[in-house]
Amino acid sequence: MRTFSHRWGATRNGDRWRVATWAPKQDDLLLRVGTDELAMSKEADGWHVADVSADDGTEYAFIAQGETYPDPASRWQAGDVHAASRLCDPASLPRADWHGRPWEEAVVLEIHVGTFTADGTLRAAAERMEEVAALGITAIELMPLAQFAGDRGWGYDGVLPNALHPAYGTPADLVAFVDAAHAAGIMVLVDAVYNHFGPDGAYIHALCPSFFDDGRQTPWGAAIDFTRPEVRAFFLQNAEMWIAEYGVDGLRLDAVHQIGQPDETDFLRELADHVAGLDLGRPVHLVAEDERNLASYVGHGALRAQWNDDYHHAVHVLMTGEDQSYYAPFSDDPFGDMLIALRDGQVDQGQPRPRTDETRGEPSDHLPPQRFVNSNQTHDQIGNRAVGERLIALTSPEDMRVMHAMLCLSPFIPMLFQGEEIGSRAPFQFFTDFHGDLAGAVRKGRRDEFPEFADARDEIPDPNAPETFERSKPYASPPPDADEWRDLTRRCLKLRVDRVVPLLKSGWQRTEATREGDRSLRAAWTFAAGRLEITFADGEPAPALSTPEILTMEGPRVALHVGLEGN
């Protein structure tokens, strides 16, 4: 496994620890370990280094100009984000043997640890892994685990990327969760945020202003300077930690369009090469979220796929008729856009689009379908609505069963959001646990974000209210048809593993998709081992299949036929 000559944070070597941080603008740094303080050695390239003897779990902190700071690369905190760090070596924790799974077998369930169970912990989540696996789920994607201010939050305001959020448990609890998932045959992906730091407790700004790009801001705060090799090393090390030390199977990379300058993908390629070269004896999988729809780097190294929001947008607009914001370009012909998504993966491929002057994307029709993670719902697409409604609450449950079956049986990698597998109607709302002026600013910003609620601002939930968090637990009150949804999920995913996955593994050859009527289509994917076909219609009869049928679903509006030959 590759390591760095100056590794961020505390690295264990027997009974000693090497503690290092990059702070080129700091003349002197002190290291406090337990009750002792010692001067750190400053090296020519801006690293401050000290070697100490201490027990695992000992508290430590940096002192700069009289101020005490946690380690920006802390792997375990003694308390909240403002507390001292603790010496921690996740790699020393015992773990079960696991050889991974190929990407073609992935069926992803995205979960938020804090709302996935009543306890909201990794230990409690581990107890549900066999139940989840019995439905046919083969991968869990954990929303961000990195420590953020307060107890409650989505995780995208993390300020200590290497420290496990304490409300979810300890480093040993994360290892136990990964082992439980693996024992059930489930891969684990961690959502990693490499594009910004949150607004409360990010002391790296004070310790190392050189970490940031003075000339650029992201929508969430100061942009990070990825031209610096030390900065790149920080995030490469973070990926190593989750994958090699905690044993997870890969990462979902949040909003990579905010990593570096516009249109840059060089860090993504470096990261994909780095984790592919860890030599762990098992496959490693990276999935990117990229609003730019850049397709040229997908498939490089360990970069298996992209989130395909275009598929979601086409489905959402088709089922709801909504046309606001980013749905506008999909509102002229959502049925036609869904056909493009089934044929090419992405809809926006650099061509002019209706209701917008912007163009985005690159051609994606050369990529096999497993390079795209498709979804009907995600934390973003539910939670970034004013009151967090799921798609099933905006259309008929019967029609959503049809869309659910199509998602599960299409050759793209399907991803469900927690509760979707049982038809949950519970909202997933935006929640935080900030205090003081920051809490007020977040509350006001959230309510200003939705002008259509100008006359009913109080209907938008207060992100800081505990009840907003509690409402977002999808399994607390299962819907009356939960068993029917479970049966459908289990049936579709059994067909997927038995009939679709062997096709994916045999090698994709081509895709054909045609519009058979105003609102009906046929899509067919040819593989070395056979052919998968879908016919779909909205408000008119679905075309007949040309292959043996394996599933038929009908709702009040939409109808689906799935056929397959070969394999």
Binding residues: 252-257, 309-313, 379-384
Report the SS3 class of residue 34.
Answer: coil
* CA 259 – CA 289 distance, rounded (Å): 11
* CA 140 – CA 341 distance, rounded (Å): 24
The binding site for substrate comprises 252-257, 309-313, 379-384
> Which of 179, 191, 254, 433 is the catalytic position?
254
Q: Are 226 and 212 in contact (CB under 8 A)?
A: no
> Which of 105, 213, 289, 290 is the catalytic position?
289
Residues 538, 452, 220, 83: what is their CA dihedral angle, to the nearest 10 degrees?
-110
Residue at token pair 């909202």: 427
* CA 511 – CA 339 distance, rounded (Å): 11
* CA 514 – CA 339 distance, rounded (Å): 7
Q: Return the bridge partners of 306, or none.
A: 288, 372
Q: Are 146 and 158 in contact (CB under 8 A)?
A: yes
Report the SS3 class of residue 391.
Answer: helix
Q: Are 129 and 188 in contact (CB under 8 A)?
A: no
Q: Is 348 among the residues known to form the active site?
A: no
Q: From the CB of residue 359, how many other CB atoms can be counted at a distance below 10 Å?
A: 12
Residue at token pair 């369009």: 257
Q: Is 105 among the residues known to form the active site?
A: no
Which of left, alpha, beta for 444 (phi over 0: left; psi -120 to 50: alpha)? alpha
* CA 230 – CA 513 distance, rounded (Å): 47
Residues 396, 399, 405, 406: what is their CA dihedral angle, to the nearest 10 degrees?
-120
Report the SS3 class of residue 387.
Answer: coil
Q: 551 is written with which tokens? A: 């599933």
Q: Return the bridge partners of 261, or none.
A: none
The alpha carbon dihedral of 120, 238, 290, 304 has a sign of: negative
Residues in the chain: 567
Catalytic residue ranges: 254, 289
